[in-house]
Amino acid sequence: DAKTTQPPSMDCAEGRAANLPCNHSTISGNEYVYWYRQIHSQGPQYIIHGLKNNETNEMASLIITEDRKSSTLILPHATLRDTAVYYCIVRVERNAGNMLTFGGGTRLMVKP
Amino acid sequence: NAGVMQNPRHLVRRRGQEARLRCSPMKGHSHVYWYRQLPEEGLKFMVYLQKENIIDESGMPKERFSAEFPKEGPSILRIQQVVRGDSAAYFCASSPWDLSSYEQYFGPGTRLTVT
């Protein structure tokens, strides 16, 4: 399984962009990069995923480097409600399932 | 469209008792996953089920834990003879039958406390 490395914590000012990095240097060619977040005491929430190209949705943007060894999740205008643990996950297919392997994540604190 | 539902949200059991955790997937979803989150740790995969089948139980402890997803009704995670180390948040997730959809939708979790 490709492992991911994320900084344990980050701070961001409210209204500013939050840029969360993730290293996945051993990623295989058919593995996707997923981002989930977990707001305190809640179940994880899907944010975005991508393979090679940059992706954007209503929640965030995902920038994947050309060599695919790292990526950055961008929350363009962070709010206090974005305070959460953000998980970068590389999906591995096993037994035709798609279980998620969560690492330690990055604890993002959005401050007023 | 209701999301993934789990009950109870909080469960207290004494050592040696049984704990039964229920998960109702989103409508139309036939894949269910159970994850466990120990205090101050990340989520760990336990088991993946489809209707009436266990597909992957590589994350399940070898003893005392079992899971099912019957043809009718919710998925059940059963823990027999609970010990204090079983105290954790247990999350269920579901996804649709079409595996090209890679998203998993998580429920609010059941917080199990073993006294």
- Given this model, what pLDDT does residue A95 score? 39
Q: Measured between CB atoms, which of B33, B45, B108 is closest to A42?
A: B108
Confidence at residue B41, expressed as pLDDT on a 0 to 100 scale: 84
* B17: amino acid identity, one letter: Q
**Yes or no, beta carbons of B59 and A99 under 8 Å apart:** yes
pLDDT in tens, B53-75: 998 899 999 999 999 999 999 99
pLDDT at A41: 82
d(CA B33, CA B48): 4
**A46 contacts in B (CB within 8 Å)?**
103-105
Q: Which of A110, A92, A109, A112 is nearest to A8 (CA)?
A: A109
Q: Does B99 touch chain A (CB under 8 A)?
A: yes
Beta-sheet strands, E only, within chain A: 9-13, 18-23, 33-38, 45-50, 55-56, 61-64, 70-75, 84-90, 106-111
Q: Say if B43 is an interface residue toward chain A (CB within 8 Å).
A: yes
Average pLDDT for chain A: 90
Per-position pLDDT tens, chain B of length 115? 579 999 999 999 999 999 999 999 998 888 899 999 998 888 999 999 998 999 889 999 999 999 999 999 999 999 999 999 999 999 999 987 665 556 789 999 999 999 9
Mean pLDDT of A45-57: 92
CB pairs under 8 A between A and B: 60
**Given a cut of 60, is residue A7 above it in pLDDT?**
yes
Give the residue-averaged pLDDT of A45-51.
91
Looking at residues A4-29, what average pLDDT do you find? 95
Does residue A94 register a pLDDT over 50? no
Query: Given pLDDT bands bounded at 50, 70 and 90, which one contains residue A96?
Result: very low
Give B69 to chain A, closest Cα distance, Å. 15
Residue B54 is predicted with a pLDDT of 93
Å between B84 CA and nearest CA of chain A: 20
Backbone angles phi, psi at B85, to 5 degrees: -65, -10
Q: Report pLDDT for A32.
A: 87
Nearest to B52 by CA among B77, B33, B30: B30
Neighbours of B112 (CB within 10 A): 21
Quote the pLDDT of residue B103: 77
In this complex, the residue of B31, B104, B107 whose CB is nearest that of residue A46 is B104
Residue linked to tokens 């709010």: A79
Task: Check CB contact under 8 Å for B48 and A105.
Answer: no
A41 contact residues in B (CB cutoff 8 A): 109
- Rounded CA separation B40/A89 (Å): 18
